[in-house]
Structures are given as structure tokens and as C-alpha cells.
Amino acid sequence: MAVQALDLRLAAIAERVRVMVGPATEPISAAAAALAASSSAAVIADEIVQITKAARLLVEMVEACQPEMGEDGSIETMCSRLRHDLRTPLVALKGYGELVLEIAVDEGLDTVSAALGPLLEGVADVMVAIERALPALSRAMTVEEEGDDEPGAISYPTGRVLVADDSQANRDVLVKYLSREGHEVVAVADGLAAVEAVFEQSFDVVLLDMIMPGMNGDGVLKAMKAEPRLRSLPVIMISALDALDSIVCCIEAGAEDYLPKPFNRVLLRARIGACLEKKRLREIELSYLKAMEKELTIARDVQRSILPKAFPAHHALVGHGLMDPAREIGGDFYDFFALDDDRIGVAVGDVSGKGVPAAVYMAMVRTQLRATALFGLSPAECLYRLNDHLSADNAEGMFVSLFYGIIDCANGIFTYANGGHNWPVVLRADGTVEWVQGTDDLLVGVVYGSPYHNATLTLAPGDSLFIYTDGVVEAIDPAEDEFGKHRLAAILAEMVPAEPAGLCDGVLAAVRAFEGGQPHSDDLTCVAVRFLGDGNDASCFEMRIATDITEIGRLVPAVHAYFQRRAISPEVTYSLTMAIEEAVSNVIRHGYGDSHGEGHTITVRVREESDGDQVVAEVIDDGASFDPTAADSQESGLGIGLLLIKTMVDGIEYVRDAECNRLHMIKSHPRSRMLPS
């Protein structure tokens, strides 16, 4: 009984279409026949043929109307699909009709123009009849089908357009429409061809039919939006389906707009023009952003070039600095520089604000601080002079928190002044962690004439000093909890034995892990230094360096300084320094294979033996076992480097001990030759 009732309902719908839509098609058939009989229609013969075919198809579809239920068994879905099918020839009739009318007006074909009036009116009447015969649950799109009045002449941009529609008539109409508007048009007949086209060619806008063989329009849309380079390509959906759900889904999936069939030509032109204009503005914006990104990249490189590349070479002190800006460039800075043979200045600052203004101010502060400090002034005097200079002409109200100190490498005394900066941390060799105490003066650059004061602390051999900006302690986790001084102290307590670079990297990693992927709240900068001391034997030198060829630039001056303090002759100084440099260089270049020694260190020791009559240099590394004393210079690949080492020293010995290579180089240095006669 249910099947019979459904068949009766479908038959009633078909009859309703024939009764209500059939009479409305008669003016269209008559107008098409009049056009075909017009003697002045030779220039538009092809278009008239398409109009005649569409009129005939419409009549046949109405007369042979046999609605069928879809897979979901919904009457509404069936009616929606039937409306879609009946509107298809109307798209061709309206499209070709408007196109022919435009040509007829331009060419002065009055009889053609007269016949087209009833045709286009008939299309509108059939649309109304279809809606009455097959009422939709949603009328959301009816507003867009109203108002065919041509607006005033508006100039729209042109571009390359992809049209994807399974109807040949629809494609032809759109191609001719858009070509007359000045667009370059590519048309395809199914969804798979549309996907292939957009992935292989460049387009400015895409028109997609909702229902196509192979892949529907919404599937094409999803495939496009899944590809990063196609996400910004504007897409306009065109379909006779008027279900609101389909429209919403397409808009949510990224479609720029939606047009119903048969489309309004004026509305189509306006929508495409708007999409092209948006795309043009978006491309201008992207071009501007790329140019700005390039400039910021250059600015970041310039800012990093301002910061010191390596800690000043000294056998009693090692250090490392790190800056990680919250944006491309930041307002934090660090600096370290040698004031004389034994005094090294260390500074960390945090400029107010972020971004470009802070970066420019940071560069000025750092330059003026170094210029002032190199006169040999105390930290307090440096901050006093810098503050007066910055605050005297400070219309923007910028300032800097600044910690500056001088380490005397001869005795480990650290003299410092603090201009409103975070207190540093001392990591004692015995594992204890202390907050630096002393002065706490005003921010630098705020009040002219502000006093600053010196304080001192003594570093014992093995003690480390950690100076940082508030980007460390004020970092925020997803729960909006701050990293805080207590977490910093706990992290540092676990890393007391670490080298300065390890301390900085470890704190950075801990802070970033704490943030849990949150955007960085502030620039993060830190400096770590370790006082090694001279040891009990002043005749010995020891220095550890990373397996990086640039570390040689730090090693060589330190070795030279040791030789000068020990009054080693220039000849021995030159020869042994060259041998040490070549040996270390060979280890860095050849000792670790593809890993390049990342995370490893090389130790260099120099001492006087036999009452000062000879100097012994020792290079220790944990790379692959290799005995340069037994290797052939050509077969080993070391070539002239190995020969140079053997030539520069009086003796060379190699030992493989506890997974380490130990290369001893001996140079004679009779003290008697240096005594005056």
C-alpha cells in the first residue's frame, strides 16, 4: 500500500508540473521559432540554434516529466533535483537570450530584439511556474533571483576564470558571457577535471557547479582548500539546487559566494568582479607582508650581528650569551668585551616595548654603553653617564633595565651596578645557588641625574654567574602561571656543572617547554660566565672549546696571552701556537665524521716543564681514534697540516687513553738563552 501511495504521489507531482509549467513554455517556443525565422539573424545563427535546442528540451522535459525518488527517500530531495533539472535549459535560454539581445542592440537588429522580449519574459514565467509546481521548503535564494535591472556602468577587473559545469549549454553561455567581459575562460565538464585544472594551472577565480559527474562541486572545493597554495583562490558555487544546507556547507568550506541558476548576469558580473578585486587586494597585502618580512629578516640579521660572536678569550673565564626575541626582532641585548688583559665587562639589558622601536633603541643603548665602558669607568659611573645621555632627549619615553659588571679574572672579583634589572644568580662550585645582592637603582633613561652605585662579590674557581631578562621569569604557561624565580633557581641548581652554553640552552629549553606552545610573552636573553681561576700552578694553562672552527678565534688569543705572561720567547710562542691551532683544526674537521662533533669539546693544556726549559702543549678530544704520528700525511688526508705540526715542534707523542685522543707537542725553551750576558 505504501508503494502504491508513493507512486500516486509521484504521478500527481508530474501532472502538476505538466499542468502548471507546460502552458508557461509556449511563449518560449513561439519566440524561439520567431528568432529562427528572422532573416536578419545570420550573425547570431549559432546562438539562435542553442536557444532553439534549449526551448525544445524544456518542452520535452515538461511533457515527459517522470520524477523518481532518490536514495534518501525524501520528497523534498526529489523535488529539489527536479527543479534543478528543469532549470538547466532555462539557464541556456536566459544566458543565450541576454547575450543575443546585447548583440542585437549593438548591431541594430530590431526584429531580433523584439522577439527576445517575449522569450526572456517567458523564462521568468517558467521559473515562477516551477516554484509553484514544486515549492521548496527554503526560499533563501529567491531574493537573488529578483531584480534584473541593469545598474549603471561599473568597471570590474578581469582575470583568468575556470568554469566547471556538466552542462554543455551552461558552459557555453558562461564562456561567452565572461569572454565578452574581457576574462580568459577555461571550461571543464566534471569535478575531476576541475581538480586537475586548478592544481596544474593558475586561475584568479573558479565557478563550480554543485552537481557534476566524477566529483561534486563541494568535493572539488574541499580538495582545493586542503592545498595551502589554493586556499586563497576565490570560488563561486553555481547551482539550481536551492537547499539552504548545501549553500551553508559550501560557504563554511571556504566558498567566496553562491549564485542560483538561472543566474542573473548582472549579479554574476558583480560577484566575479568583487572576487577579483578581493584577490588583487589580497595579493597586494601579501606582497607588502613579504617585503616587510624580508626587511625584518635583514633587521634581525643586523641585530644579531651587533651582538658579540664569542666571549673574550681568557684562560680564567669562559662565557656564553643567547637572545631569543618574541618577534622577528627584539629589545633585549647582551654584551661582553675585554677592558684590559684581565678585566672583562658583561652587560644584559631589556628595552621597554618590543619590535622595531625597541630594536633601534637597543642598538643605541648597547653602542653607547660599550663606548662609555671602554674608558675604564666603573659600572656605576657608566650607568650614570648613559642615563643622563638617554634621559636628556627622550620624547618617546623609552628606557632600559640594565645590569653591567666587570669581572677581574686575576682574582675573581665581580664589580657591578644594577639599573632596575632582574637580579642575577650565582651558581657556586659546591652546588649552592645564590641571588646576587647589592644595589637596586632606577631604570636607565628615566630620570636625569639619577645616582647609581657599585657592589662587589667574589667568584671562586668553578663558580658561575647567570644574568637574564624578565622574558625568563615572566614566561606564561597555558594556565597563565608565570615561570617565576623559584623555577629558574630549581633549573639552575640541577645544571651547576654545565658549561655556560649549556646553562643558557638549558634555561631556554625549560622556559619554552613551560610555555607549552603559547606565544612568547617577551624577548628572552641570558648570559652565563664561569670563573675558572688560575689554579695552584700559575705555569699551567687550560681551556675547553666547542668543536666549532670559529672557536679557534677564541683559543689563539688566550694561548698568546698565557705565553706573554710566562715570558715565553716570540719564536716558541709562534711555533707552538701554530702547532696547537693546526692540531685543533684537524680534530674539528676530521675527528667526528658526519656528526661534526656536535655537543663535544676539545681541551687544550699548556705547561712549562724541566724548570722552564721546555713547553708542552696537549690537545685532548673524544673523537675517533687517530694517531697522527704514525699516519702518512698524504694517505691520512691531513697533508700539509700534519707536516706543519711536525715542523713547528721538537717532539710529538700520541696516546689513546680512556676513549680520548691525547696529542702531546713539545717545544724546547732554554731559559738560559733569555738571561742577559
Check which CATH number belongs to the domain holding 125 and give it: 1.20.120
% residues pLDDT > 70 (the chain)? 88
Residue 301 lies in a domain: no
Give the per-residue pLDDT at 526.
94
Mean pLDDT for the chain overall: 82
Q: What is the mean pLDDT of residues 382-387?
A: 95
Residue 192 covered by a domain = yes
Instruction: Please state, in angstroms and rounded to a whole number, the distance separating the CA atoms of residues 331 and 494.
Output: 29
- Do residues 570 and 524 share a domain? no
Q: Tell me, yes or no, whether 113 lies in a domain.
A: yes
Confidence class of residue 152 from pLDDT cuts 50, 70 and 90?
very low
Q: How far separated are the first and last CA of the chain, in Å rounded?
A: 134
For residue 552, pLDDT beyond 70: yes
From the number of C-beta atoms within 10 Å of its C-beta (0-12, 13-18, 19+), residue 2 rates as: exposed
Kindly report, residue by residue over 9-31, the tens digit of the pLDDT: 788 888 888 888 888 888 888 88
Residue 274: predicted pLDDT:
84
pLDDT band at 677 (very low <50, low <70, confident <90, very high): very low
Q: How far is CA 254 from CA 257, 333, 353, 370, 586, in A?
A: 9, 44, 37, 55, 58
What is the edge-to-edge ordering of all strands in the sheet holding 413-419?
A: 332-338, 343-351, 400-408, 413-419, 455-458
Q: How confident is the model at residue 140 (pLDDT cuts 50, 70, 90)?
A: very low
Domain shared by 179 and 169, yes or no: yes
Q: What is the DSSP letter of 198?
A: H
Task: Based on the fold, state whether residues 550 and 585 are members of the same structural domain.
Answer: yes
pLDDT top residue among 425 and 170:
425
Predicted local distance difference test score (pLDDT) of residue 444 = 93
Same domain, 406 and 513: yes
Higher-confidence position of 75 and 312: 312
The conformation of residue 89, written as its DSSP 8-state character, comes to H
For residue range 362-379, what is the model confidence (pLDDT) as tens digits? 888 988 999 999 888 999
Is there a single domain that holds both residue 419 and residue 325? Answer: yes
* Residue where a domain stops, chosen among 531, 566, 583: 531
Percentage, residues of the chain above pLDDT 90: 26
Confidence of residue 539 (pLDDT cuts 50, 70, 90): low
Binned at pLDDT 50, 70 and 90, residue 3 comes out as low
| Other residues' Cβ atoms within 10 Å of the Cβ of residue 392 | 10
Query: Is 70 exceeded by the pLDDT of residue 436?
Result: yes
Q: What is the pLDDT of residue 399?
A: 92
Distance CA(328)–CA(547), nearest Å, equals 29
pLDDT at 147 over 70: no
pLDDT band at 57 (very low <50, low <70, confident <90, very high): confident
The average pLDDT across 607-630 equals 84
Q: Which residue has the higher pLDDT, 153 or 255?
A: 255
User: Is the residue at 262 inside a domain?
Assistant: yes
Residues 532, 316 contacting (CB under 8 angstroms): yes
Weakest-pLDDT range from 330-334, 344-348, 410-414, 498-502:
330-334
How does pLDDT run across 81-129, given as a tens digit for each residue?
787 788 888 878 888 888 888 888 877 787 777 878 888 888 878 887 8
Would the pLDDT of 407 be above 90?
A: yes
| Cell 698568546, residue located | 560
Average pLDDT over residues 29-46: 76
* pLDDT surpassing 80 at residue 394: no
* pTM to 2 decimal places: 0.53
Give residue-wise pLDDT tens across range 154-166.
566 788 999 998 8
Mean pLDDT of 23-47: 79
Residue 335: exposed, middle, or buried by beta-carbon count in 10 A (0-12, 13-18, 19+)? Answer: buried
208: left (phi over 0), alpha (psi -120 to 50) or beta: beta
User: What is the predicted pLDDT for the residue at 41?
Assistant: 60
Mean pLDDT of 267-276: 83
Region 168-172 average pLDDT: 82
Q: What is the pLDDT of residues 443-465, one digit of tens each?
A: 999 999 999 999 999 999 989 99
Position 510 pLDDT exceeds 50: yes
Give the pLDDT band (50/70/90) at residue 595: low
Three-state DSSP class for residue 344: strand
Whichever domain contains 254, its CATH number is 3.40.50.2300
Q: Is residue 300 part of a domain?
A: no
Last residue of a domain, one of 106, 137, 168: 137
Same domain as 348, residue 466: yes
In the predicted model, what is the mean pLDDT of residues 429-440? 86
Lowest mean pLDDT: which of 68-72, 148-152, 528-532? 148-152
- The 3-class SS string of 617-659 reads EEEEECCCCCCCCCCCCCCCCCCHHHHHHHHHCCEEEEEEECC
**Do both 513 and 569 map to the same domain?**
no
How many domains, the chain?
4
What separation in angstroms does the CA of 116 have from each of 146, 171, 239, 664? Answer: 19, 21, 25, 104
75: pLDDT strictly greater than 80: no
pLDDT at 466 over 90: yes
Q: Examine the domain organization and report whether 169 and 202 are in the same domain.
A: yes
Describe the strand order of the beta sheet including 184-188 as a list of residue ranges: 184-188, 160-164, 205-209, 235-239, 257-260
Average pLDDT over residues 546-559: 84
Contact 460, 429 (CB under 8 A): yes
pLDDT of residue 503: 92
pLDDT above 90: residue 562: no
What residues make up the domain containing 607?
A: 540-674
User: Is 340 in the same domain as 484?
Assistant: yes
What is the structure's pLDDT at 536? 44
CATH number where 544 lies: 3.30.565.10
407-422 mean pLDDT: 93
pLDDT digits (tens, 9 = 90+) for 192-229: 999 999 999 999 999 988 888 888 888 898 899 888 88
Checking if the pLDDT of 390 tops 60, the result is yes
The grid coordinates listed for 175 are: 564562456
Give the tens place of pLDDT for each residue, 239-254: 765 556 677 777 888 8
- Residue 592 domain flag: yes
Q: What is the CATH number of the domain that holds 433?
A: 3.60.40.10
Residue scoring higher pLDDT (226 or 283)? 226
Domain boundary among 293, 324, 348: 293
Q: Is residue 302 part of a domain?
A: no
The answer to whether residues 546 and 601 belong to one domain is yes
So what's the pLDDT on residue 239?
Answer: 72
Residues 131 and 276 in one domain: no
Q: What is the pLDDT of residues 317-362, one digit of tens each?
A: 999 998 887 766 767 889 999 898 889 999 999 988 777 777 888 8
Residue 298 located in a structural domain: no
Say what the pLDDT of residue 328 is: 63
Residues 389 and 495 in one domain: yes
Rg (CA), the chain: 42
**What's the pLDDT score for residue 372?**
93
pLDDT recorded at residue 507: 94
Q: What pLDDT was estimated at residue 459?
A: 92
